A and B are shown apart, each in its own frame.
Chain A
Amino acid sequence: MKVTVDRERCCSSGMCALTAPKLFDQDDEDGRVVLLIAEPPEELHAAARKAESFCPCQVITVSDD
Chain B
Amino acid sequence: MTETLPSEITLSARGSCPFDPPPEVTEQAKARPITPIRFPDGHIGQLITNYTLARAVLADPRFSARQELRHIPIPNRLADGEMGPADPGMFIRMDPPQHTRYRRLLTGQFTVRHMNLLVPRIERITAEHLDAMAEQGPPADLVKAFALPIPSLVICELLGVPYSDREVFQQHTSTMLRLDSTSQEVYGAIGKVNEYLDGLVEAKKASPAEDLLSGLITGGELNQEELVTIGFLLLVAGHETTANMLGLGSFALLSNPAQLAALRADPTLVDGAVEELLRYLSIIQIGIQRTALEDVDLDGHHFKKGDGVLISVPAANRDPERFEHPEQLNITRPNTGHLAFGHGVHQCLGQQLARIEMRVGYRALFERFPDLRLAIPADEVPMRSDMAIYGVHRLPVMWEEVRQ
Q: Which residues of chain A have a CB within 8 Å of any CB of chain B?
A: 11-15, 17-18, 21, 25-32, 53-54, 56-58
A28 and B114 CA atoms in complex are apart in Å by 8
Instruction: Summarize B's interface: helix, strand, loop or mixed.
Output: helix
Given that A30-B104, A53-B337 are known contacts, is A11 also in contact with B347, CB under 8 Å in the complex? yes
Nearest chain B CB to A51 CB, angstrom units? 11
Instruction: Please state if B337 and A29 are interface contacts (CB–CB under 8 Å).
Output: no
Chain A residues in 8 Å Cβ range of B103: 11-12
Complex partner residue of B108 from A17, A18, A28, CB under 8 angstroms = A28
Given that A32-B107, A54-B337, A57-B344 are known contacts, is A17 also in contact with B59, CB under 8 Å in the complex? no
Instruction: Please state if B337 and A14 are interface contacts (CB–CB under 8 Å).
Output: no
Q: Which residues of chain B have a CB within 8 Å of any CB of chain A?
A: 58-59, 100, 103-105, 107-114, 337, 341-345, 347-348, 351-352, 355
Besides A11-B107, A12-B103, A26-B113, 13 more A-B contacts (Cβ < 8 Å) are: A11-B103, A11-B347, A12-B111, A18-B352, A27-B108, A30-B107, A31-B107, A31-B108, A53-B337, A54-B337, A56-B344, A57-B344, A57-B347
Given that A13-B347, A17-B113, A26-B113 are known contacts, is A56 also in contact with B107, CB under 8 Å in the complex? no
Complex partner residue of B111 from A28, A53, A57, CB under 8 angstroms = A28
Tell me the total A-B contact number using a CB cutoff of 8 A: 63
Instruction: Please state if B111 and A56 are interface contacts (CB–CB under 8 Å).
Output: no
A27 and B344 CA atoms in complex are apart in Å by 20
Across the two chains, which residue of chain A brings its CB closest to B105? A30
Chain A residues in 8 Å Cβ range of B109: 31
Chain A residues in 8 Å Cβ range of B112: 14, 17-18, 21, 26
Across the two chains, which residue of chain A brings its CB closest to B115? A14
Instruction: Please state if A57 and B108 are interface contacts (CB–CB under 8 Å).
Output: no
A57 and B103 CA atoms in complex are apart in Å by 14
Given that A18-B352, A26-B113 are known contacts, is A56 also in contact with B343, CB under 8 Å in the complex? yes
Given that A11-B347, A12-B103, A56-B345 are known contacts, is A29 also in contact with B352, CB under 8 Å in the complex? no
Chain B residues in 8 Å Cβ range of A30: 104-105, 107-108
Nearest chain B CB to A54 CB, angstrom units? 5
Chain A residues in 8 Å Cβ range of B342: 56
A38 and B108 CA atoms in complex are apart in Å by 23
* A–B Cβ pairs within 8 angstroms, 28 of them: A11-B100, A11-B107, A11-B344, A12-B107, A12-B108, A12-B110, A12-B111, A13-B341, A13-B347, A14-B352, A17-B113, A25-B113, A26-B112, A26-B113, A27-B108, A28-B111, A28-B113, A28-B114, A30-B108, A31-B107, A31-B111, A32-B107, A54-B337, A56-B344, A56-B347, A57-B59, A57-B347, A58-B59
